Amino acid sequence: MDATRRELIMQRWNVVQQELLPELRDQIGALTPKLEQVIHILEWVRIEEFTATSWCGVGRPPHERAWLANAFVAKAVLGVATTVGLIERLAVDRALRRICGFVMCRKLPSAATFSRAFEEFAEGRLAERVHEALIKAHLGDELIGHLSRDGTAIPARERPLRTPATKVARKAKKRGRPARGEARPAAKGSPLERQRQQTLPQMLAEIPTACDRGTKCNAQGYKVSWNGYKLHLDTADCGVPISALLSSASMHDSRAAIPLSLISAQRVTSLYDVMDAAYCSFELQEHCRRLNHVPLIDHNPRGGVKEEFEPADAVRYQERTVAERSNARLKDEFGGNTLRVQGGTKVMAHLMFGVLALSADQLMRLRR
């Protein structure tokens, strides 16, 4: 980030601290720390600059759409579980209503209006686009030491997709060596091998996003199952989420590694890719090297002979927990545990409003 942009950021920060907050306190009284956090995050993400681009002259004008978008960011910051709860909070909290931009003398939009707006924001990937712009603006010119990659369970309140079992007649495999001139079908390659031959859009098109049942081992080594989804995050060593990907709960973490790394490479420049043993594979190590990254992947006993880390690499690998801390903050502080919507598109939108707020909050901590 160049010096001019840094000066603009600090200038806006001073305006918020010295002019906006005192004026709001004079108009609506004392502000809680959470409301001040909402103000700062909204000022950093500038989501109103993205709501006008998709307006075609029908429906609510851009400034009113910006109010609704601000409200959904505030919903993630405040940890409000439902849209009805958000409307009730706006109705009684004059400060929050003023912060989001709603005119005090006008009636709040109905719950149906909020739901339609959220669906539109989800279909247009509003939060994802704002997050991408935020990362490129603040970290696009920085050199990131390492990216930590991890997936986390997202339980959902919907039934898992059940695929009808179909019996397929299989031909018995011939044993022994093939006869002279006999052609046998080649062995089926792994998903990672196929991904290395695909483009990013092709990979993303094959990522399953339906709600189903997933199982993974927790930190104590016990298997935990849930119905829902899985969120995969690339987190920079400074604690800022760089990219995110949603998949079905049953998808293995390693299938998200290659598309995530390509998305992150479009946004920032990094040196190391740090992953746990779930990502241990020759294909992923080669892919990282092709991106000019150093792969630091924990050993999986099924992955062959263990290769010990160099002392400096071992120290860097211990910092992999930054991804787990991001997942924990997303769930505990920014609405990751208050999922009420259904369907992959809406679930991703709900989580991305939280990821957007988390990223802005972490960037503010770095600039202080």
- DSSP class of 16: I
For the segment 182-205, what is each residue's pLDDT rounded down to a tens digit?
Answer: 666 655 678 888 988 999 999 999
Which domains are seen in the chain, by residue range?
3-124 (no CATH), 143-160+194-340 (3.30.420)
Q: pLDDT of 128-179, one tens digit each?
A: 999 999 999 999 999 999 999 999 999 998 888 776 655 555 666 666 667 7
State residue 170's pLDDT score.
Answer: 60
pLDDT > 90: what percent of the chain? 57
Residue holding tokens 């986390």? 152
Residue 236's DSSP bridge partners are: 147
Alpha helices in the chain (DSSP H): 3-15, 21-28, 33-45, 48-51, 62-78, 83-92, 94-100, 111-123, 126-139, 191-195, 200-206, 257-265, 282-290, 311-317, 321-333, 344-367
Q: Are 267 and 282 in contact (CB under 8 A)?
A: no
Q: What average pLDDT score do residues 14-31 get?
A: 60
Whole-prediction pTM: 0.86
Model pLDDT for residues 58-79, shown as the tens digit of each residue:
556 666 889 999 999 999 999 9
Looking at the chain, the whole-number percentage of residues with pLDDT higher than 70 is 80
The pLDDT assigned to 127 comes to 96
pLDDT at position 1, please?
47
Mean pLDDT of 233-251: 95
